[in-house]
């Protein structure tokens, strides 16, 4: 299965009539493995900052998580595994696997819990596959 298929069928899937606004699978070096057409153009330093927070949890909290120039307030996550951000009625979930970052961006009516479930389910599957 191609990385694009994972994005199209697993991340951008329909859940209770809702779906993510955009999603991507990004290598830990910042290279794009696959992304939805609406995923924001991000800066390499934004991915570096996210990776730094996985290494040293809490580093993003004071500044916020930036992705595509959009600032998200960092909310509860799982240190070293998941970073969650909120902005107004939407937000972002970033799940770290052995080699990649699974990123899902959502807006209402999708809930934070639905976004977390979609992103983390694929991330856990890829970790189980050694990716």
> SS3 of 56, please?
coil
Whole-Å CA distances, 114 to 48, 56, 58, 60, 64: 26, 26, 24, 23, 22
Per DSSP, the three-state class of 120 is helix
Full-model pTM: 0.96
Averaged confidence pLDDT in the chain: 96
Ordered structural domains, the chain, with CATH? 1-13+24-54+64-106 (3.30.450.30)
**Tens-digit pLDDT profile for residues 34-84:** 999 999 999 999 999 999 999 999 999 999 999 999 999 999 889 999 999
Q: Is 103 exposed, middle or buried (0-12, 13-18, 19+ CB in 10 A)?
A: buried
């Amino acid at each position: 299965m191609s990385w694009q298929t994972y994005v199209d069928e697993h991340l951008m899937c329909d859940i209770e009539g809702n779906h993510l606004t955009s999603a991507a699978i990004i290598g830990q070096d910042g290279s794009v493995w696959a992304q939805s057409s609406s995923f924001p153009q991000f800066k390499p330093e934004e991915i570096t900052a996210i990776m730094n927070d996985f290494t040293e949890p809490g580093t993003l909290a004071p500044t916020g998580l930036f992705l595509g120039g959009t600032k998200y307030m960092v909310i509860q996550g799982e240190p070293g595994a998941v970073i969650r951000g909120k902005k107004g009625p939407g937000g972002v979930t970033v799940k770290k696997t052995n080699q990649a970052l699974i990123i899902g961006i959502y807006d209402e009516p999708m809930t934070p819990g639905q976004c977390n479930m979609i992103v983390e389910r694929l991330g856990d599957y890829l970790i189980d596959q050694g990716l």
